[in-house]
Chain A
Amino acid sequence: MAAERGRPGASPRPACLSKPFLKIVATGALLCGAALPSHSGSLQERLAPCLACHGESGRSETPEVPSLGGQPPSFLLIQLYVFRERQRIAEPMNELTKDLTDDDLRSFSDELAKLPAPVAAGPADPARMAMGAALSARHRCGFCHSPDFSGQNQIPRIAVQREDYLVKALREYSTQERRGYDPSMVEIARQLSEADILDLAYYLANWR
C-alpha cells in the first residue's frame, strides 16, 4: 500500500507501551502524574513516565510518539488539555492525563518545555530534502511554525520531529480524523497528497 511507503519504524507497539508497562501505569506505580489519589512526589518524579516514552533528552525513541524537546509551553498545555478532556483521542494519553488539575497541566507543560530540542543526525538525501523544501515553501509551513520550524506560542516545533509521527499527524489532519484545537492544520493538510506528506515529513525530520 502506497500509504506505507517510506514509513520508518514499523514495530507494532513501543516497549514503553507494552502491556506490562501499561499495567504498571494502571496501578499507579509508574504514572505520568495521573490518577494518583494524592499527587505525591516531585515534579521530576511525576514526569518520569512521560519521558519514558517521549524521551528523557527531548528526543523520542518510541515509534509514533513525538519528541517533546523544544516545544513551546503553550502548545504543550493545549495538548495536555485536549487529552484530558478527550477532545483529542490518543491512548494512553487520555488515561494518563484524566486526573490532572489545571495547575498540573501548567507545571507539566512549563517543565517539559525545558527539554532540549532534538538535533538532526546522520545523512539526509539531498533530492528528498529539496522536494520537502519546495513543498514547505509552497504550503508556507514556516509562516506559522517559524522559518526554522521551532514553533511559536500554541504552534508546535516540527523541526527534527520523528518522521513517523509527522506522517501520522499530517495524515490525521488531512482526513480530519484529527481536527485540531484550532482548525488551521486541517485547512492546510487536506491539500496534501500522500506523497506530499511523506516528503514533508522526511524534510522536517531531517531539517538542520
Chain B
Amino acid sequence: MPIDRALRALAVTGSVACLLAAAPAGAQQPAPGGAPAAVPAAQPPPAPGSALYGRPDAPGAMRLAPIAPPPIPTPADKLPVAKLKAPAGFKVEVFAAGVANARSIRIGDKGTVFVGARLIDKVHAIREKDGKREVKVIASGLHRPNGLALHKGALYIAELSKVSRIDAVEDNLDNPPKPTLVNDQFPKDEPHGWKFIAIGPDDKLYVPVGANANINDPDPNHYAHIRRMNLDGSGMEILVRGVRNTVGFDWHPTTKELYFTDNGRDWLSEDVPEDELNRVTAAGKKHFGYPYCHQGNFRDPEFGWGHSCADYEPPVALLGAHTAALGMRFYTGAMFPAEYRNAIFIARRGSWNRTEKLGGDIVVAKLNPDGSVKSIEPFLTGFLENNNYVARPVDVEVMKDGSLLVSDDFNGAVYRVSYGG
C-alpha cells in the first residue's frame, strides 16, 4: 500500500483520528509520535471481492449504518397509520398489530393471512375467530423464516438455508404440526441468505439465492440466481443468473412472465446503482448483470472491466438508488379502479446507504400491453418523515375482496388499503 494512501485513509477515518489524538504511547501519556507509529501497521484496503470493498472513507458515509427494526411490535394505538397517504378514494387502516417483524404475506384459501419474519424466529397467522381478528404464532424456532408460499392448503416456509412445509395449515391453526423438510440444499451464508419464495404458474417453487456479500463475484452455480424446483423439493435447477438479491417476484396474470425486483449494491455512491425491476422473457437473456453490470448501463468499477452491459438482460424499470425494492404483486383484484388492473404494486422498504433516505413507500408500476413499463407512480407514501422511518413496507398481497395488504417490519403490523365503500 502506498504510504500516502495509508496516510489519507488514516486521516479521514474518524475512529483512527480519535485514536491518534487520544491513544497513549505508554500509560496515560499523550502520544505526540503516535501517528507515524500507526502507519507501518496499516493494512491494505479490502481485497477485491470483499464485502467491504467500495466502502468510502468520506465522513458522510461514515454515518450510514443499517437500521434494524425492534423485535417487539408497536402497540395498535401507536401505529403511524394516520401518516400513510394513498390516492383520493383509497382508505388505509390497520389490519393487524402485534405481528412482530412482519415480512412476506400470503393469504390462504380460507382467508388466513400468513406473515413471515427475518429477524425473529416465528411465522404468524392472522385469522378471524369468533368474530374477532386474532394474531397467533404458528411456527417458531426457525432461522430467518422470511419467505412463504401456499399451494393446495400447504404452507411453504423458506428459512435461511432450507424450505419446509406444513400441510393443511388452515385446518390446523390451533395446533399446527412442525414443518416437514422439503429441501435444505441451499448455502448457509448469512449475507442475503433470507429468502422470498413463490409458486409459479408451472407449479414449481421458485427460490432465490442472493450474492453472499454486498459486492463480489461468487460461484454462479451457488449464488446470485433464482432457482426453481418441484413442490416435493426434487429437480432443482437454476433459472436465471446475475441476480444480486431479489426479495420479491410475481408472474404477469396473462403473459405468465416472471417479473422480479433486485436490490443494487451498496457503497458505490449515493445515486448509483438503482434497484431494478426485471422481467424474464423466453427470448431474453438469462443473466441479469450482477456483479458486472448494474441497472443495465453501469459497469461495476471493480468487476465490470472487460464486460459489456449488452451481454446482460437490462431491467424493465429502475426503482431508485438504495430504495430496497422488495415485495411485489400484480394487482388482480376487482376493487381498485381499472387503471390498476394487472399493474404491479412494489414495496420499497427504504434506503439506509444514502444520506437523504429514498423509498419508504409503495409504488405502482403500470405496464404497456407488450409488458414493458409505462410508468412508476407513488401509491402509498408517508413511511418516511423528516429523513426518519415511521414505518417500513416489506411486502404486499391482494386480498380476495381486492383490497391490498401491506406488511411493516419496523412496527410489526399489517395495513389494509381499500377503495370506495
Interface residues of chain A, those whose CB is within 8 Å of chain B, are 74, 77-78, 81-82, 85-87, 102, 105-106, 122-124, 126-127, 129-131, 133-144, 147-149, 152-155, 176, 179-184, 186-188, 191, 207-208
Contact = CB atoms under 8 A, between A and B. Distances in A.
Contact of A188 (B10, B16, B52, B68): B52
A28 B52 CA distance: 47
29 contacts: A77-B70, A82-B71, A85-B120, A102-B72, A105-B72, A124-B23, A124-B24, A126-B31, A127-B41, A129-B19, A130-B34, A130-B37, A130-B40, A134-B43, A136-B16, A137-B15, A138-B43, A140-B13, A140-B62, A142-B15, A143-B61, A147-B15, A147-B17, A147-B18, A147-B62, A187-B213, A188-B51, A188-B52, A207-B19
Given A124-B23, A152-B65, A137 B51 contact: no
B290 to A, nearest CB: 17
B310 interface: no
Interface residues of B, number: 53
Q: Is the interface of A mostly helix, strand, loop or mixed?
A: helix
Nearest to A173: B190
B190 A78 contact: no
A161 B259 CA distance: 47
A182 B43 contact: no
Given A133-B15, A154-B67, A191-B46, 13 more contacts: A78-B68, A81-B71, A124-B24, A127-B41, A134-B43, A142-B62, A143-B65, A144-B66, A147-B18, A153-B67, A153-B68, A187-B214, A188-B52
Interface of B: 9-10, 13-20, 22-27, 31, 34, 37-38, 40-46, 50-52, 55, 61-62, 64-68, 70-72, 119-121, 140-141, 143, 188, 190-191, 193, 213-214
Given A127-B41, A134-B41, A78 B70 contact: yes
A139 B15 contact: no
Contacts of A81: 71-72
Tell which of A137, A188, A191 has the most Cβ of chain B within 10 Å.
A137
A137 to B, nearest CB: 5
B59 to A, nearest CB: 9
Contacts of B70: 74, 77-78, 154
Given A143-B64, A152-B65, A137 B37 contact: no
Q: Is the interface of B mostly helix, strand, loop or mixed?
A: loop
Given A153-B67, A153-B68, A187-B213, A138 B15 contact: no
A129 B72 CA distance: 39
A74 B191 CA distance: 22
A191 B190 CA distance: 13
Nearest to B27: A123
Nearest to B34: A126
A81 B187 CA distance: 27
Given A137-B42, A140-B55, A184-B66, A179 B15 contact: no
B23 A129 contact: yes
Nearest to B75: A102
Nearest to A84: B71
Contact of B190 (A122, A148, A187): A187
Nearest to A180: B190
A131 B40 CA distance: 9
A191 B52 contact: yes
Pairs of residues from A and B, 5 with the lowest C-beta to C-beta distance, nearest first: A142-B15, A147-B14, A183-B190, A144-B65, A186-B190
Nearest to A106: B72
Contacts of A149: 15
Given A81-B72, A106-B72, A126 B25 contact: yes
B66 A186 contact: no
A47 B348 CA distance: 41
Contact of A176 (B14, B71, B119, B188): B188
B218 to A, nearest CB: 13
Contacts of B214: 187
A188 to B, nearest CB: 7
Given A142-B13, A176-B188, A182-B68, A133 B52 contact: no
A183 B193 contact: yes
A124 B214 CA distance: 35
Given A143-B64, A149-B15, A78 B41 contact: no
A142 B68 CA distance: 17
